[in-house]
Amino acid sequence: MKLILLGAPGAGKGTQAEVICEELKIPAISTGNIIREAVKNGTPMGAKAKTYMEKGALVPDDVVIGIIKERLVQDDCKGGFILDGFPRTVPQAEALDAMGVAIDRVVEISVPDEAIEKRLGGRRVCGSCGSSYHMEHKPPKQEGVCDKCGGELILRKDDQPETIRDRLKVYHDQTEPLKDFYQGKGILRVVDGQAGIENTTKQVLAALEA
Ligand code: AP5
């Protein structure tokens, strides 16, 4: 299964990718996590990406396409993968096609903007391993501490209200055209991302068969 999870910032792509990769035993690849790690480690790519990311803009296509090209040739991707946050523009989707990657399913997790703005205010992520929590919908066992690695839970820089609005605009302008792109290939399915985390997982898994 080569799966793309599509959806607005905060729609729940990362949350679903984490569960579904366990279920399907394939890796989940998040370009956002790869870029955040590069920023944290101060690599040249991270330095280039940081300013775009912090203001809620997209990192240039050539940088992100380069990341994906390197990642998809690794051995663990041979049996399939989940892409979380890639592609995000039509040129990125075309680059996947040009690499000869045949995507089986694109699942859009649909959540209205008003719900996204509310939801992202409650998100906390682990500063060490990047795991994502929600103060109301997915709280950690101990407040402020990551269940997986014990790291400190923080608010992402791009989860400030103004930046969230900018990211939503970028999503509508640059990423939503992908819906038509994949609808045209007959592989797009849409699920309700407001149904609660477990119900959304059930819908995503059903969409893989439909
Ligand atoms: P990225 O990290 O990909 O951010 P994003 O797409 O904005 O997505 P998020 O991580 O914010 O949200 P999500 O959909 O994964 O939601 P989550 O599961 O965490 O990218 C960040 C930046 O990197 C971009 O702005 C850009 O600069 C750059 N970048 C990355 N990829 C790029 C690309 N391809 N091209 C160019 N630039 C790129 O859930 C959110 C919250 O909601 C959590 O707290 C969660 O617990 C909760 N939640 C999840 N599901 C539910 C539910 N069903 N009900 C209630 N709460 C829920």
Q: Is 105 a catalytic residue?
A: no
Largest Cα–Cα separation, the chain: 46
Ligand 1 atom closest to the Cα of residue 119 is 42
Instruction: Return the pLDDT at 210.
Output: 81
Q: Is 88 a catalytic residue?
A: yes
pTM of the model: 0.94
5 vs 59: CA distance, rounded Å: 18
Along the 210 residues of the chain, how does pLDDT read in single tens digits? 999 999 999 999 999 999 999 999 999 999 999 999 999 999 999 999 999 998 899 999 999 999 999 999 999 999 999 999 999 999 999 999 999 999 999 999 999 999 999 999 999 999 998 899 999 989 999 999 999 999 999 998 899 989 999 999 999 999 999 999 999 999 999 999 999 999 999 999 999 998
Q: Using an 8 Å Cβ cutoff, are 139 and 133 in contact?
A: yes
Here the tokens at position 98 are 């040009």
Q: Is 58 touching ligand 1 by the criterion CB < 6 Å? A: yes
Ligand 1 pocket, mutate which of 13, 15, 155, 178 (most atoms under 8 A from CB): 15
Q: How many whole angstroms from 145 Cα to the centroid of ligand 1? A: 20
Instruction: Return the pLDDT at 57.
Output: 95
